Amino acid sequence: VIWMTQSPSLLSASTGDRVIISCRLSQGVGTSLAWYRHQPGKAPELLIYAASTLQSGVPSRFTGSGSGTDFTLTINSLQSEDFATYYCQQYYTLPRTFGPGTKVEIK
Amino acid sequence: DVQLVESGGGLVQPGGSLTLSCATSGFIFSNFWMSWVRQAPGKGLEWVANIKQDGSEKNYVDSVRGRFTISRDNAKNSLYLQLSSLGADDMAVYYCGYGGYFFNYWGQGTLVTVSS
């Protein structure tokens, strides 16, 4: 099983801020990593796959980078709908595993 | 538009069983792996199972293997998850997801409550 950590677990920010979320894995996955945004009461949304490929329809303020065991999600100019919880997920091997989440809250 | 709509959740006693369904539209269902992911109250996301396009390959997380069964009906564009021997740890919102690796689209989820 590939274990994942995310930092920070909680991030306080304001609209317009730039935020960076980190995801670290217990073993390398190449670029087999995805990022999701999960707003309360809604379905999770795929933002990034293959570590840095923006899903169709996702705003360009979201950027993913990294490979191996260390990845980051950057959100430029935070919008109101971005106050949510973010998860990384590896799909290099089974079982698919998610990070514990990073909650982005309003400062 | 891609749509996934889960149903079948509800209150079940410990040790009980339940079958969840996911009705899909807006994409060629039979061309894609499908998955179930769950979220326990106050917890993060946990992948549960996935199934190949023709149903010939199924994978499960260890904690549900032998108790849950994933299946699909390509003629009905529907995905299923049979849950049995349910315990408190299985209480969660269950989401169906389009994809077997990462999940392009998700449903709104259906809540399974395990309680006597």
| B41 touching chain A per CB within 8 A | no
Q: What is the mean pLDDT of chain B?
A: 97
pLDDT for A24: 98
**Of A98, A20, A33, A102, residue with least CA distance to A69:** A33
B27 touches chain A (CB under 8 A): no
Q: Say yes or no: B59 contacts chain A, CB-CB below 8 A.
A: yes
pLDDT attached to residue B25: 97
Mean pLDDT of B43-52: 97
Report the residue count for chain B. 116
Per-residue model confidence (pLDDT) at position B55 = 96
| Bridging pattern class, strands A53-54 and A62-67 | unpaired
Residue to mutate among B3, B64, B101, B104, with most A CBs inside 10 A, is B101
- How far A91 CA lies from chain B's nearest CA (Å)? 5
Say how many C-beta atoms besides its own lie within 10 A of residue B102's C-beta: 22
Q: What tokens were used for A21?
A: 């979320």
Asked if residue B91 lies in contact with residue B40, where contact means CB atoms within 8 angstroms, the answer is: yes
Of the pLDDT bands very low, low, confident and very high (cuts 50, 70, 90), residue A2 is very high
> Which residues fall within 8 angstroms of residue B15, CB to CB, at 6 or more apart?
B85, B86, B87
Percent of chain B with pLDDT over 90: 99
pLDDT at A41: 87
Cβ distance A44 to B46 less than 8 Å, yes or no, reads: no
pLDDT at A46 over 90: yes
For residue range A76-91, what is the model confidence (pLDDT) as tens digits? 999 999 999 999 999 9
What pLDDT sits at residue B109?
96
Q: How many residues does chain A have?
A: 107
Mean pLDDT, rounded, of chain A: 97
What one-character DSSP code corresponds to residue A9? S
Q: Which residues pair with A64 in a beta bridge?
A: A73
Note the pLDDT tens digit of each residue in A15-26: 999 999 999 999
Long-range Cβ pairs for the range B13-17 (8 Å, 24+): B13/B86, B13/B114, B13/B115, B13/B116, B14/B86, B14/B87, B14/B88, B14/B114, B14/B115, B14/B116, B15/B85, B15/B86, B15/B87, B16/B84, B16/B86, B16/B114, B17/B82, B17/B83, B17/B84, B17/B85, B17/B86
**B97 pLDDT tier (thresholds 50, 70, 90):** very high
Taking alpha carbons only, the member of A51, A106, A63, A55 closest to residue A82 is A106
The amino acid at residue B70 is: I
